[in-house]
Structure 1
Amino acid sequence: MLRHFTAQEVEAGLDYPSLIDALDAAFRRAGEPMPVRQTYDVGTADTPGHLLTMPAWDRGATLGVKLVSVFPRNAERGLGAVSSLYVLLDGRTGQPTALVDGEALTNRRTAAASALASRYLSRPASRTLLVVGTGHVAHYLPEAHRAVRPIEKVLVWGRSAERAAALAGRLREQGFAAAPVADLPAALAEADIVSCATTAQAPLVHGRDLRDGTHLDLVGAFTPRMRECDDAAVLRARVFVDTRAGALAEAGDLLQPIAAGVWSADRVCGDLHDLAAGTCGGRRTDDEITLFKSVGTALEDLTAAALLAGAGDPGARRRDDAAPLIRIATAG
């Protein structure tokens, strides 16, 4: 039977501890490479538009694809520019089994992937989180990070003081000691973990402002022209990524210092597969700076959708067994 999961059902059905553990198991396992994200121009001269597809599969178990449309002029119609839907299918028959709200799924799995990286890279006693940005993903990050670290205090910085205050208020309702901040360098000096979720075209976080021991989580910038931190931050940090293929194709935070000749791709210490499988070490000392750059992967979508659809099913496989056996498809 085909099931439809609304945004509210995604929120209720994917608790962070379970999702983070499922992602950990999925990244730990190795498998065949998946195709990278495909983008198609589907617009007209008057209405530009793009269709993006992100497929992934676990042979004999499950497969799925996220469909994303980007129509920049939708604001003129009172609609959002980005819409998405996830289609989950049975890996044995190819029959559709679930339709999942794509935005909710993406937001939740993105935050969970950041928390998974934090499990390996942030200091275990991290209690203060700085969120840079006030968009959709920013709302999810504190709760996800709290699933792996004893986060008590959340500082919120945004270009709009009003939106930063609103997000801080919402986080207080979730039990955080949250407050908006206007002085970003001062907040950076206080934070144990810095999580950025913006569409910045120029650096917001500067390496000179990071204190020793900080974990820097870069979620937002997802094209070569975008970046959230400067070269100095990259140079000061041990750098990890969600996937090498995705990050080294799309992450401006890394591609721009590479182009400038001040950093090189071989300085990536590892990806989420390496961390989960134990083939590379995570944080080594309390005073080193770590940096995690994500651009998204279809593995995360498939893992989250399969976990969601299997929730409450007595015949569903155990969490570790349910993790898709796939290598990685780049996706946003």
Structure 2
Amino acid sequence: MLVLDEAQTREALAWPALIDAIASMFTGTCVTPVRHHHEVEVPGEAAATLLLMPSWVPGQYTGVKVLTVYPDNAKRSLPAIFGTYLLSSGKTGEMLAVVDGGELTARRTAATSALAARHLARPDAEELLVCGTGRLSLNLIEAHAQVRPLKRIRVWGRNAGNAEKTAADARALGFDAKAVADIETAARTADIISCATLSQAPLICGDWLKPGAHLDLIGGFKPDMREADDTAVARASVFVDTRAGAMSEAGDIVQPLKTGVLTPGGIRAELRELVAKEHPGRQSTEEITFFKSVGAALEDLAGAILAYESARSGQK
């Protein structure tokens, strides 16, 4: 059995291969039940979340991710997310690999956003605004740069020091990146806005979105969490990673559905339909696109299989 730590998982999940692996999984025979989502009480602090995400390709691989989200970990200088992925044989059930769940989650999440941007962002998109300074922020920059010709990166966060650190890390990788204090000004010029926060109130106002902008929302994974307002929903063509997940869990979709700002039919397509070309995706240079991701277990399975097969190949 392979055990892949954080560094080994990162090395095994090159961006182009990971983006393509996730695309293939969305159009394959993967079985993906809706994930198990449990609130965990933490006395004196914000409640945590326990996620159990099973998925399998019949006869090939079976996997499950166990993930925890502790919002107040920032007070302890710890990541909010910890997790482990267990990959087994789909024929025998034999355990094949234990993969670092935090690194897998961060990379597959960013890769899924990049896959969506491949279909929804303007081909000439050059400016990316990342909102949030957690583990995902640098991954989002790297992943989006795989699919669009980014020239300018802007990073906003509630903590200015953390925003500057993310920008500095991006500069070390060769990006023209800088931290910004004014989220509205940065959002008004951005071609792609990618939000990865634990916000419960909208950060992005729809009135800020310029024609042709692409809005990528990642962080709001519970019904009471929100990263964009109703105006953004109303102005944009709305897409999701999976209807089942987004319509039951994502505040950026659940809340507008409840108030009538969005109808189920107003969701243009889910990611599988974009990848399979059942929906054309962006249809004009002026169209504003809105992609809401809550995470699907098949994305983790795609990454875990790639990590396992890449690591095995490297051992030969």
Asked if these proteins are the same fold (TM beyond 0.5), I'd say: yes
Query: What are the within-5 Å matches in structure 2 for residues 39-188 of structure 1?
Result: 39-40=37-38, 51-70=50-69, 82-188=81-187
Tell me: CA distance 1:76–1:253, structure 2 relative to 1, closer, same or farther (3 Å).
closer
CA RMSD after TM alignment: 2.3
Q: Match of 1:211? A: 210
What CA distance in whole angstroms lies between the structure 1 residues aligned with 2:175 and 2:76? 37
1:273-310, Cα deviation, whole Å (9 max, x unpaired): 00011111100011110010000000000000001111
Quick one: distance in 1 between partners of 2:249 and 2:293?
Answer: 10
Q: Is the CA contact (8 Å cut-off) linking 1:226 and 1:252 kept in structure 2?
A: yes
Contact 2:205–2:231 under 8 Å retained in 1: yes
1:37-57 CA distance string (max 9 Å, x none) = 124577798998764311100
Describe the shift of the 1:248–1:49 C-alpha distance in structure 2 as closer, same or farther (beyond 3 A): closer
**What amino acid does structure 2 have at the position aligned with 1:193?**
I
Structure 2 equivalent of residue 247 of structure 1: 246
Q: Cα 1:266–1:98, aligned 2, differ >3 Å: closer, same or farther?
A: same
CA distance, structure 2, for counterparts of residue 272 and residue 179 of structure 1: 31
How many residue pairs match? The answer is 313
Question: 1:141–1:53: structure 2 CA closer, same or farther, 3 Å change rule?
Answer: same
Distance 1:82 1:172, change over 3 A: closer
1:68-125: CA deviations, max 9, x gaps? 2456787898865642110001111110010011000000000000000000000111
Which string of whole-angstrom CA distances, capped at 9 and with x for unpartnered residues, describes residues 170-227 of structure 1? Answer: 1000111001111212111211111011111111110111100001000111111111
Q: Structure 1 regions of 5+ residues with no counterpart?
A: 316-332
Equivalent residue number for residue 38 of structure 1: 36
Name the CA shift for 1:308/1:209 in 2 (closer, same or farther; >3 Å). Answer: same
Structure 2 counterpart of 1:37, one-letter code = R
Partner Cα separation in structure 2 for residue 292 and residue 18 of structure 1: 22
Change (3 A) 1:175 1:223: same
For residues 132-160 of structure 1, give each alpha carbon's deviation from its aligned partner in whole angstroms, at most 9, with x where no partner exists: 11111112100000011111210011111
CA distance in 2, matches of 1:219, 1:305: 20
Q: Matches of 1:88 and 1:8 in 2, distance apart? A: 18
Residues 30 and 298 in structure 2, CA contact (< 8 A), matched pair in contact too: no
Instruction: Specify the code of the residue in structure 1 equivalent to 2:226.
Output: R
Equivalent pair of 1:29/1:277 in contact (CA under 8 Å):
no
Q: How many Å apart are 1:29 and its aligned residue?
A: 2.5
CA distance in 2, matches of 1:227, 1:44: 22
Secondary structure, in 3 states, of the residue corresponding to 2:210?
A: coil
Contact 1:258 1:264 in 2 (8 A): yes
**Conserved? CA contact 2:63–2:301, under 8 Å:** yes
